[in-house]
Every structure is written in structure tokens, then in C-alpha cells.
Amino acid sequence: MIPPIASDFVAGESPAEAISHVRHINRGGVGGIVNLLGEHYEKRPPADADRDAYLALLTDLGREDVSGSISVKPSQIGLDVGEGVFEENLAPIIERAEEEGVFCWIDMEDHATTDVTVDAYERHATATDGGVGVCLQANLKRTPEDLQRLAALPGKVRLVKGAYPPPKGLSYRDRERVSEAYEELLGFMFREFDAGVAVGSHDPRMIDRAKELYEEYRTPFEIQMLMGVRTDAQFELAKEGYAVEQYLPYGNRWPSYFYRRMRERKENAAFALRAIAGS
């Protein structure tokens, strides 16, 4: 059982709870991106177990009448064990997703995994004719080139600021510089993509920029935010007619995810402390 404050950020421990949360947010016009919590497995068994959990989740999502996709971390399905293991586990997940008509996102992890992740996306986006999406990080200096390479492919790209601090020479560290890079990359995506633009940010400035770019280029786009972050804004944007997707993690590895969310933003920690003091 997930305690009250953590349950603002995590949909539950079981797939049934995650799907129930998807159904709940669907009623407010928001789609769900379901992520089973888990990463950086050094041995094959837990990676294979999470692959199997995703296969079962996909069958459930396909059976239920919900608007839901999945998002998978490469190191969760074996990238730290070996690139071959990652591919062996990713392929059946994408195959099942295609069979069930469920969209499959691939999260982006640290900079050492960008090549293998983008290569996998390229292969599967082409093979599935766009049933797959990948995340790219604006804080990486290489991202303009990656976007150029991916612009003509079917599929979707989620642009985020980047959650993994890469080595200095390869990345922007200054927050304002990362925001500027994000805006420049969004401009490229709206100009060069026919569709498949996903704005993975809670930042009102980035979202306003996407709205302006939409007025100029009319490229379809979606806004993606995390469960528990700016929830009211998610439903307001959906009410205004924007496509909004909520990334919702579930599973029994929720404590480390929850503490990361707390560390990230002082507001979240202050809110949690107030709630504990009041309970």
C-alpha cells in the first residue's frame, strides 16, 4: 500500500491500479503513459521479469477501453547487461504493443545510452510505421543532430530538458541555456516534423512557446507531464482542447522514485512535510 503523499506521484503497486488511474484521468480528457518502475538491472532475470510485466500490461491495456500508452526505460529491460539483451527484450514489447494497438515510448537515460536508444527507436519506428516514440534531451549538445536524423521518420519524439547531468563538454549546465536550447529545438520540431511532437515539460514558458509555434505551423503536438505535477494545469490544458498525456509510474519500487521527486523540487518537499504535520 502506497502512503497518501507518495500516491500523488505513483499510481499504485499493481497494473490494475495503474489502469484504474488511466481510466480516472481519461474522464478529464488526459491520456495515460504507464511506466513500470525499475532501472539499471545488472543481471538478466529482473530485466526479463519487467519485460514480461510489460507484455501482460499491454494485453490488459489492449483489452480495456482506455486511452493509454507505455514508456519503457532501456536499463530496465537489460541495457546494462548488454545491448543484445536490451534489443531481445524490446522487440517483443513493441510487437505486443503493435498487436494491442498501444503506443510504446522509449525513455532516454544517461548520455552513454543515447546512440543505442536512438538506433533502436529508428529501427522500430520504421518497422511499426510510427507506433513508437523516443525521448530526447535538450541539455545534450548533440540533440539538434539527433532531431535532424529523426525528423523524417514516422513515430513521435518527446522533448525534455534532461534529467541526467552529462559531462560538461557534451551538455549545457546553465538552466537558462537549457531552456533556450529547448525553445530552439521545439522550433525545429514544429517546422520540420509533420506530426509526432511531444512537449515533455511542466514549464509554462515551454508550453506557451509550443502553443505559439502551433499557431504558426499547425503541427499537431501533445503536452506530457508527470503524475502529481501541475495536475490542475494538465486538466485545464485538456479542457482548452490540447492533447495532454500524463506519465504515471507504478510498481513496488516507488520509494526511490518518490524521493527523487521530493529532491527535485522544494515545493513538493514542503507540501509533503505540511501533509505529514497535518495528519
Q: Which residues are part of the catalytic machinery?
A: 107, 158
Pick out residues in 248-267 that bind ligand FAD (CB under 6 A).
Answer: 265, 267
Scanning 14-22, 96-104, 194-202, 251-259 for contacts with ligand FAD by CB under 6 A, the matching segment is 194-202
**C-alpha cell read off for 207:** 508550453
Binding flags for ligand FAD, 10-39, as an x/- string (CB under 6 A): ------------------------------
Site for ligand FAD in 216-235 (CB under 6 A): 224-226, 229-230
* Contact criterion met (CB below 8 Å) for 186 and 213: yes
**Residues 38-77, mask of contacts with ligand FAD (x by CB under 6 A):** ----------------------------------------
Distance CA 116, CA 110 (A): 11
User: 136-175: which residues touch ligand FAD (CB under 6 A)?
Assistant: 137, 160-164
Q: At what angle do helices 266-278 and 254-264 cross, to 10 degrees?
A: 110
Give the residue with the Cβ less far from ligand FAD, 85 or 138: 138
Identify the burial level of 219 via C-beta atoms within 10 angstroms of its C-beta, where 0-12 means exposed, 13-18 middle and 19 or more buried. middle
Facing residues of 158 across strands? 135, 198
Contact 248, 34 (CB under 8 A): yes
Q: Which helix (H) or strand (E) holds 212?
A: helix 204-217
Helix 143-150 × helix 175-192 angle, to 10°: 20
Does 135 participate in binding ligand FAD (rule CB under 6 A)? yes
If binding means CB under 6 A, how many residues of this protein chain bind ligand FAD? 24
Return residues touching ligand FAD (CB under 6 A). Answer: 107-108, 135, 137, 160-164, 200-204, 206, 224-226, 229-230, 247, 265, 267-268
